[in-house]
Chains A and B, each alone.
Chain A
Amino acid sequence: MRHKVHVATAMLSAAALLALAGCSTDPGVTPAGDATTAGAKATTTAAAVNWFDQALYTKQLAQRSVTPVGAASQPYLQTIDAKLVDTAKFKSPGAKKVCFANASISNPWRQTGWITMNQQLKVLKAAGVISGMETRDAQDKDDTQIADIDYFIADGNCDAFLISPNSTAALTPAVQRACDTGKPVVVFDRGVQTTCPVTFIHPIGGFAWGIDSAKFLIANLKKGDKVVALRISPGVDVLEQRWAGADKLFKEAGINAVDHFTGANPTEIKKIISDELAKGDVKGVWMDAGDGAVAAIEAFEDAGVPYPVMIGEDELSFLRKWKATNITALAPVYSNFQWRTGLLAIQKIFAGQKVPSEWVLPQSPITKAELDGYLAKNVGMPNGHYAKFGGEDLPGYPAVWQKRVMP
C-alpha cells in the first residue's frame, strides 16, 4: 500500500514538474495543436454519447445525389462539392519522398487498397514524381501510429506526409505536429479533428452508407419486419456512423432492427443469425461491412428458411454468393480506390495544382443491374478483393491483385 502512494505522489510531482520543464525543453510540439482541438472537444464528448450527427447526415444525404466532377473513367480523381485550396506554396520540381503512416493492413479492405496504392506508387516513381515511399504500419495501435508520425517528423526527411489515421481524436495531435513541419500533409479514409492537412480524402461517408442500405431494406420490407444488423465492433467512428444513419431510418420506417457485434467473425455471425432465426422470422440482414455476409446467407440456407433481403459490400465473396443465390440485395461501397487518390493528391500538390480541402470521392452502391458487370470485371480475383478497387489501369493488373502481392 505504502508503495502505491509513493508512486502516485511521484507521478503527480513528476507530472507537474515536467509539465513546466516540458515547455522550456524543446518539444516536438507546441500548444498550437491545442487551439484546433479545442473546437473539436464538443464532437469528442458528443461522440461518446451518440454517433448521430444531424449536420453531417444531411450533408452526406445531399452528396449522394450530386454528380461528381471529373472523368467517370477515373472515379479516384472525381470530386464532390470540392472547395479547392491553393497549393502554390508547395510547388516544387523533382522527385519527392512520401512518408506513409498507415493504421494497418489487418483486413481485406485495407489489404486491397494497400496493393492498389503500391501499384500507383510504381507509376508515380516511373514518372519521376515520387522518389520513394517509406511506410510505417501501426498494426491497429493508436500509440504506435503516434510514435510513427513523430519518427517521420524527426528522422524521415520526408517531403510529404500521407496518413491513414487509426482513430480520429487520438491521432489529431500527431497529425497537427506533422502539419507544423510545414510539409504538405494528406489524410485519407478516416479524418482527424484538425483542418491543418492540405486535403482530407474520403468517400462520401458512413451516413451515406447507412442511408443507401437502409432505404433499400425499407423499400423491400414491410413495416414491423425484423432486420438483424451485424456490426464489426463498437467505437469505430466510420462504422458507427453507418449504423447511426441506418438506425435512424429504420426507426422512422418502423423496421424492427436488432444489432449485434460480430468482430467480423463468420462463426459469430452464423451463430447470431441462427439464434435470431430460432427466435422468429428474419426478413432482412444489414451489415456495416460485407466480409462475412456469406456466412449470414448460409445461416438461412442451413436453417432452411427463405433468404432475407441482404445488405453486403462490394467484397467479391458476397457478390459471388449474391449471383449464385440470386437474392434481393444491395452492395454498398466504401470506395477502395481512395488508397491511390492519396498519392495522386500529393502529385497535384507538388505540381502546385489546386486540390479540394476535403476531397469527397464518389460512393455509389452496386445494384443488381451492375452485379454481372462487376463480376465479369473481377473474374479470377480472390474473395477478399473489392470490386470497386479502381486499379484496372495500373501496371500489374490483374495478376498483382489476384496473387495479392504486397511489399
Chain B
Amino acid sequence: MIQRTPGHRFARIGLTLISPRGAVFLLLFVLLVAITVINPHFAEPGQAIRFVQRVAPVAIVAIGQYFVIVSGEFDMSMGSLVTAQVVIAGNLVGQDDSRSIPVLLFMFAFGAAIGLVNGLITTLLRVPSFIVTLGMMLALLGGVLFWTGGSATGNPADGFRQIGRGGITGVPVLGIIPWSVLILGAVLAAAIWFSRQPFGRTLISTGDNLTTARYAGVRVWWVKTSAFMISSLSATVAGVLLVGYAGVHPSVGRGYEFIAITAVVLGGVALGGGRGWVVAAAAGAFALEALFTLLNFAGVPSTLRDAVQGVILILAVAYSSATFKRPGRLPSPKISPSPEKLPHPATDAVSTAPQSSSLSR
C-alpha cells in the first residue's frame, strides 16, 4: 500500500520528536543535559542509576494512571492508596521478615479490591470517575489513619524494605543496580506488552469511543474496571518501593495523583481518552523529576518549584494541543450538522462519559 524509504523513516523520527507523542523525550533530554551542565557528577553511572531509582515509584504510578486516563477516566485515589499501602506494610510486616510475602500478597489483593470498587461504581452506577476516586481518596486516607491512630507502629523489616532501598551491589561501572530500577523496567515492559495485547488495544479503543466499543461486543464495564485495577495495583507497587525508599510516614504518597496526572499529560496523553503512548507517560514522570532535580541543583528555593512546574505544565499541554490540530491533508467539510458531530438530543442528555465535548475542549 505504501513505500517506506529510509528518508521517509528519518522524516518520521524527526516528526515524532516534535509531535506531542515525542516532545516529552525532547524535553527530558534537554533537562538531563541542563542538569549535567550544572553538575557533571550527575552523568556518572552511579548517580544516574540512583536518579532512575528515585523516579521509579512516580513513573510506575504514572504508568498506572496512563491506563485509566487513556480509557477516558481519572483516578484521584492513587496518592491515598500509596499512603495506605505504605502504612499497611509498616503495621503488618513489622519487624518479622517472614511476614513479608503474605503481607505483600495481601497488599496486592487490597489494591486490586480498591480498583475494583472504583471501577464498578464508575461503570455500573455511572458516577463520574473524578468524583468516585475523589471520594475514595478521602475515605481511604481517613480509614487508614483511623486504623493506625495516625501513624504506623514503625518501618517494616529491613528485608521488606530492601525491595525499594537495596539492589544488586558490586556491579561494575554502576556500582549498584537497585531493585526498584529492575521493577520499573519490568512494569514498563509489562505495560508496553499489555497495551499491545488485544485487551490493551481494546482498552484504548474503548477510551476513544465508548459506543463503538459497546457495539463491537466489548465488555465496557470490565475493560474500564480493569484499567482502575491496573492503576491501583501500580499504586501498590509504588507503595512497596516507597516504604523501602523512604520509610513509613502518613505523608508518603501525598499528592501523587496529581503528579501522576501531570506526568501523563506531559507525555502527550490526551485527557478524555483514546490517545497516547504509555512510554511517553513514563517519560513524562522522568521529565518531571528531572525538572525538580534541576531546580535543586540550580539552588532554586524549594518554594518556587511549584511555580516552575506550573509554567512547564501549561506550556507543554498548550504545545501538544496546538500540534494536535487536524492536518489539512484532507479537505474536511466545515462544521456540518451531521449526526456524527451533533449527538441526538435524546442520547446526548444521557452522556456522562468524560470524552463528551466538554472535557475534550
Contact = CB atoms under 8 A, between A and B. Distances in A.
Q: Do chains A and B touch in the complex (CB under 8 A)?
A: yes
A261 B302 CA distance: 6
A295 B247 contact: yes
A382 B87 CA distance: 13
Given A265-B249, A275-B297, 8 more contacts: A111-B149, A115-B149, A264-B249, A267-B245, A279-B297, A298-B165, A404-B149, A406-B150
Contacts of B165: 298, 302
A263 interface: yes
A357 interface: no
B41 A278 contact: yes
A261 B305 CA distance: 11
Interface of A: 105-108, 111, 115, 234, 258, 260-261, 263-267, 269-272, 274-276, 278-279, 291-292, 294-295, 298, 302-303, 317, 382-384, 403-406
Nearest to B296: A275
A260 B302 contact: yes
Contact of B154 (A106, A266, A275, A382): A382
B197 interface: no
A279 B39 contact: yes
Interface in B214-250: 242, 245-250
Name the residue in A105, A272, A382 with the highest tally of chain B Cβ atoms < 10 Å from its Cβ: A382
A274 B303 contact: no
Name the 7 nearest CB pairs between A and B, nearest first: A404-B149, A384-B151, A266-B246, A383-B154, A382-B153, A111-B150, A275-B296
B275 interface: no
Contacts of A383: 151-155, 248
Nearest to A271: B54
Nearest to B242: A267
A406 B149 contact: yes
Contacts of B47: 278
A263 B254 contact: yes
B321 interface: no
Contacts of A269: 246
A331 B41 CA distance: 33
A275 B47 CA distance: 10
B212 interface: no
A105 B293 contact: no
A317 B155 contact: yes
Contacts of A115: 149
Contacts of A274: 50, 54
B292 interface: yes
Contacts of A106: 150
B289 to A, nearest CB: 8
Contact of A264 (B154, B242, B251): B251
Contacts of A258: 299
Nearest to B294: A275
B148 interface: yes
A404 B245 contact: no
27 contacts: A108-B150, A111-B150, A111-B151, A261-B303, A263-B251, A264-B251, A266-B251, A267-B57, A269-B246, A271-B293, A272-B302, A276-B296, A278-B41, A278-B47, A278-B297, A279-B39, A279-B297, A298-B247, A302-B50, A317-B154, A317-B155, A382-B152, A382-B154, A383-B153, A384-B152, A403-B149, A404-B148
A261 B296 CA distance: 12
Contacts of A276: 296
A275 to B, nearest CB: 4
A384 B292 contact: no
A382 B246 contact: no
B353 interface: no
A265 B57 CA distance: 15
Contacts of B154: 317, 382-383
A265 B251 contact: yes
A406 B145 CA distance: 11
A294 B296 CA distance: 21
Nearest to A110: B150
Nearest to A316: B154
Name the residue in A278, A279, A317, A406 with the highest tally of chain B Cβ atoms < 10 Å from its Cβ: A278
